[in-house]
Structure 1
Amino acid sequence: MPSSAPAPVRPAAVPSAAPAGRRLPRLRPPRSPRRRGPGGGPAPWRSLRHRSMRWWSVANLVSNAGTWMQLTVQNLLVLQITGSAAATGLSLSVQAAPGLLVGMFGGAVVDRWPRKVTAAVSQAALGLVAFTTAALVAFGELNVGILMGLAAVTGLIATVDGPACALLGNDLVPTEDVPSAIAVGSLVHSVGRLAGTALAGVAVAFLGTASAYAANGVSFLFVAAVIPFLRPVQAALRAPSGPRPAPAAGRHRPGSAREGLAFFARRPRLVALAGITGLSAVFGRNYGLTLAVLVTGPLQAGAAAFGTVSTVLAVGGMVGAVLAARLRSPSVRLVGALAAAGGLLQVVAGFSPSLAILLIMVLPMAVVESVSDTAGTTVLQTDPPAHMRGRVLGVWRSASTVWGLMGPPLLGLLMELAGARGTLAAGGLIIAGAVGAGALLHRRRGASAAVVPESAGPLPASAPARPEALSAAA
């Protein structure tokens, strides 16, 4: 790793005195070159100019294809072994449970250990689980108990692997290129999903179910093999490895998961981002459920029509990723505005009189959702200081697991009471109304904080600034 010390600067020759009547030329710092797109804005693929980012994108494409190969056959395998749809849902819940229970501790591990080592070890461990599952399936030794155990182990490893890989990808590009890197990752995910789903059918038809798990294991090992050759542009900071000072009374131990939770709770930007994303996830983004009921119910179309809707959603997501890649410094305000716009679009979509009108509305819904996701992920991964980002992502994983498990049952209950149209409309209004109320409250608080009592007078020049005031201004 190159030294972080700045290179010595050779002093320029400066004349001892300027000639009479002439001024010395003013030296200006050189401007850093910026990649521009055809329209003059930031190039959407600017993150790929870094060699390590290109390799990381290829590795992620292979990994995503392998993951979707396994996911495509996993539910069918559970049904084949148990013959129970409830067992299928239980296996998914078992795999998600570690993210809810120990997600914060996984983030603490990421902050304590070097990013590349953590990501490589977690990828290799996931590959071992995939190979073990493939062997058990091939020899007919997989039963319900072992299946649930492997699902729990996979979820546990993912609590470390998720934040480690996300932050490692960000380390490969400068901060201003992080939105581009996240958008490229979104596109890679979409392409990998299409490729993996198609390859799964071919692999199972010719080689059997175990081949999908084996292919996923190979994809994990490929990523683990690429990681040692990556060269981060910005070194990831982590807490010093020497002896730590004892924490003061009432404070959390440095590097602990509780410290990450306390930091998250004290950061208004992160709390607001969690509120916006949580509302959108519960009431606005379960389109696989709400739109499926709308298409097959009130619109009286079939499964093929919902397949068309799903395709338009995928295309809109890709278009949104391209647009989001042009972002440089997204904010929580932008995320909120996009969430409110998506909610209003959802309201209109809920009252679509025909499938054609619904398809017209679905495209901008998917575009707005994709841009909002990229903007929110960028804020989440760049707002905290580098040594806290793993724990912040751990807290986020626990929170996202909660609203991910809560959304489908709640929407199912709402559709029983209000139908698909009423659920889409109510969910969109809840999102837009909550974002609007939050923005109004934030504006009023800012206005009241700006009012200074006349009797107070100006602060003396020698008065030190309060640290909390400086952090609030930042």
Structure 2
Amino acid sequence: MPPIPAPRSPERPAPPSSGRSKRSPWRCLRHGGMRWWSAANLVSNVGTWMQLTVQNLLVLHITGSAATTGVSLAVQAAPGLLLGLAGGAAVDAWPRKLTAAVSQVALAAIAFTTAALVAFDRLDVAALMVLSALTGLVATVEGPACALLGNELVPVRDVSSAIALGSVVHSAGRLIGVACAGVAVGALGTSAAYAANGLSFLFVAAVIPFLRPVAGHAPAEPDRRAPRPVAAAREGLAYFMGRPRLVALTVVTAVSAMFGRNYGLTLAVLVTGPLAGSDEQFGTVATVLAVGGILGALLAGRMQRPSVQLIGTFAAAGALLQVVAGLSPTLVVLLVVTAPMAVVESVSDTAGTTVLQTDPPPGMRGRVLGVWRTAQTGWGLVGPPLLGLLMEWAGPRGALVLGGLLIAAVIGAGALCRTRRRAPRSGAKPVAAHVPESAPPSPRSARSVEEPAPVP
């Protein structure tokens, strides 16, 4: 890798632009740090998908049991469920760049260890469980640290563009990684996929020290007076629960994820079952979903400050399109509905991630992402079995229709409650506060729109 000059001061922002460039989904690439970060993420995603391509088959081969394979996945997810908030508190308390770099090196060490055990035929069930648990443990810190580090490379108004670009990089890394896995495994064996993933982690770790935040958007320094980890985690949970917009975002995303986002399961059964299609035809549906997801991410990248209300609107629209998909009489109709369904849901997801990572003040963002990771792991574990039971009871069409109606109903009920809370009480007259004409503006009204609200 060619040397990267390390500037002595935060990176200067890109020259101001006007017109369409301000809303371009690619506007985050005007910043040099984001260009390097995106390249590093592409390499990392290629390595990750090379490993994921062979991992489940390898685990199944070692354990000889689909149930044990599921247990290994649960062991890897358990730290996110139990320690997600603690990991977020650590990200707020430790230097962010150092935390991100060390976590990348730790993941590389796990990948290289797995590759060596596979190469020498020493990977057994016990070692597999330990490595899975370690991976999940490191990920509780690595996830929020890297997400927040990437956000600091662009102004707040361009965070949605950075997140959208990350979605595109993820999709591109998946396509390249799957293709590279076949070549590497065929030529060098299964361990090559793990070794390549380890190298990709080291590449990211090597780039991190040269990244600089944009001017005016410096990262939050660790608070030396911060409370102890348990108290800090409790403080983060209290902050999260005290922000109605974050709670509303969690409810919308959780319900949508459990009853409307597992299309790899529901649409696969619908296509190969009631629609009497083939596996190749479901592959076409999956391709449309992937393309629609990329287009939706780019559309969301044009937003600068998405609201939770807008996210709920897109999620409800996706749910109603899901109902139509469940009632599709033919595969052609399903394909026509699938495209906009994937677009609106990708917009909702990308915009939601933007709100989640920009709403809290800098010193609280790690803990907020920790709470989110814990909740996300919870509905990720509960959702598939729950959806499977719904399909057993109502069939694939019924699961899509009932799930979509449930999502729309929950979002509609939330919007109605919000409207009623904001409506003035009957008979009450608003009282206007008398402010002298010469009175100076209050400190609160004079604050910059970019400045985050203080932690209660």
**Taking structure 2 as the reference length, what is the TM-score of the superposition?**
0.90
Are 1:198 and 2:179 matched, yes or no? yes
Which amino acid counterpart does residue 299 of structure 2 have in structure 1? Answer: L
The alignment status of 1:217 with 2:209, answered yes or no, reads no
Are positions 1:119 and 2:100 aligned together? yes
Q: Which amino acid in the other structure matches residue 117 of structure 2? A: L
Query: Residues 341 and 368 of structure 1 are in contact (CA less than 8 Å); yes or no, is this contact kept in structure 2?
Result: yes
> Alpha-carbon deviations, 1:218-276, whole Å to 9, x = none?
000000000001111121114422x56xx8xxxx9897111100100000010000000
CA distance in 1, matches of 2:18, 2:62: 53
Q: Distance in 2 between matches of 1:150 and 1:299?
A: 42
Give the drift of 1:90.
Answer: 1.1
Q: Which residue of 2 aligns with 1:329?
A: 305
Cα distance in 2 for residues equivalent to 1:207 and 1:114: 39
TM-aligned CA distance change 1:201 to 1:35, over 3 Å: farther
CA distance in 2, matches of 1:309, 1:88: 27
Aligned counterparts of 2:278 and 2:369: Cα–Cα separation in 1: 40
CA contact (8 A) 1:260 1:391 kept: yes
Aligned counterparts of 2:424 and 2:356: Cα–Cα separation in 1: 28
Write out aligned runs for 1:25-424 (5 A). 33-37=16-20, 42-233=23-214, 234-241=217-224, 243=225, 256-424=232-400
Give a deviation string over 1:177-210, Cα, whole Å, max 9, x none: 0000000000000000111111111111110000
Confirm or deny: 8 A CA contact 1:316 1:366 kept in the other structure: yes
Asked if 2 retains the 8 angstrom alpha-carbon contact of 1:313 and 1:366, the reply is: yes
1:303 deviates by 1.2
Displacement after TM superposition at 1:436 (Å): 1.0
Maintained 8 Å contact 2:86/2:230: no
Unpaired stretches in structure 1, ≥5 consecutive residues: 5-31
CA distance in 2: counterparts of 1:457 and 1:187, whole angstroms: 50
Q: Deviations over 1:366-386 (max 9, x none)?
A: 111111111000000000000
Amino acid at match of 1:266: G
With over 3 angstroms needed to count, the CA separation of the structure-2 counterparts of 1:74 and 1:426, relative to structure 1, is same
Is the 1:35–1:42 Cα contact (8 Å) retained in structure 2? no
| Aligned-pair CA distance for 1:452 | 8.1
Q: Secondary structure at the match of 1:235?
A: coil
What is the rounded CA distance, in whole Å, between the counterparts of 1:61 and 1:299 in structure 2?
Answer: 37
Indicate how the Cα distance of structure 1 residues 452 and 211 shifts in structure 2: closer, same or farther if over 3 A, else same. farther
- Give the structure 2 partner of residue 24 of structure 1: none
Q: Is the 8 Å Cα contact of residues 111 and 255 (structure 1) preserved in structure 2? A: no
Partner of 2:410: 434
Q: How far apart are residue 148 of structure 1 and its match?
A: 0.7
Once the two structures are TM-superposed, the CA of residue 131 in structure 1 deviates from its matched residue by 0.1
Deviations 1:52-81 (A, max 9, x none): 100000000000000000011000101111
Q: Distance in 2 between matches of 1:159 and 1:240?
A: 20
| 2:439 paired residue number | none
Deviation at 1:99, TM superposition (A): 0.2
Code of the aligned partner of 1:184? L
Q: CA contact under 8 A between 1:112 and 1:255: conserved in structure 2?
A: no
Q: TM-score, normalised by structure 1?
A: 0.87
Q: CA deviation at 1:34?
A: 3.0
Structure of larger gyration radius: 1
How many Å separate the matches in 1 of 2:27 and 2:391?
A: 44
Alpha-carbon distance in structure 2 between the residues aligned to 1:230 and 1:2: 11
CA distance in structure 2 between the partners assigned to 1:399 and 1:204 by the alignment: 36
SS in 2 for 1:140: coil
| Cα deviation 1:90-140 (Å, max 9, x = unaligned) | 111111110000000000010011111110000000000000000000001
Distance 2:71 2:230 in 1: 36
The CA distance in 1 between the partners of 2:150 and 2:321, in whole Å, is 33
Distance 1:371-1:420 versus aligned 2 partners, 3 A rule: same
**Matches of 1:43 and 1:210, distance apart in 2:** 41
SS at match of 1:448: coil
Q: Residues 89 and 366 of structure 2 are in contact (CA less than 8 Å); yes or no, is this contact kept in structure 1?
A: yes
Q: State the AA in 2 paired with 1:235.
A: A
Q: Contact 1:127–1:218 at 8 Å: present in 2 too?
A: yes
Q: What's the RMSD between the two structures over aligned residues?
A: 2.3
Given residue 16 of structure 2, which amino acid in structure 1 is its aligned partner? P
* Superposition deviation, residue 461 in structure 1: 6.6
Provide closer, same or farther for how the CA distance between residues 255 and 174 of structure 1 changes in structure 2, counting only shifts above 3 A.
Answer: farther
Percent sequence identity over aligned pairs: 67
Give the Cα–Cα distance (whole angstroms) in 2 for the partners of residues 88 and 358 of structure 1.
33
- Preserved contact between residue 324 and residue 374 of structure 1 (Cα < 8 Å): yes
- Residue 459 of structure 1: how far off its partner (Å): 5.7
Question: Does the 8 Å CA contact 2:390/2:399 hold for their aligned counterparts?
Answer: yes
The answer on whether the counterparts of 1:34 and 1:42 sit within 8 Å (CA) in structure 2 is no
Separation of aligned partners in 1, 2:334 and 2:431 = 59
- Deviation digits for residues 374-428 of structure 1 (CA, Å, limit 9, x no counterpart): 1000000000000000000000000000111111101110111110001000010
Size of the aligned set, in residue pairs, is: 430
Q: Check the 8 A contact 2:90/2:229 in 1, yes or no.
A: no
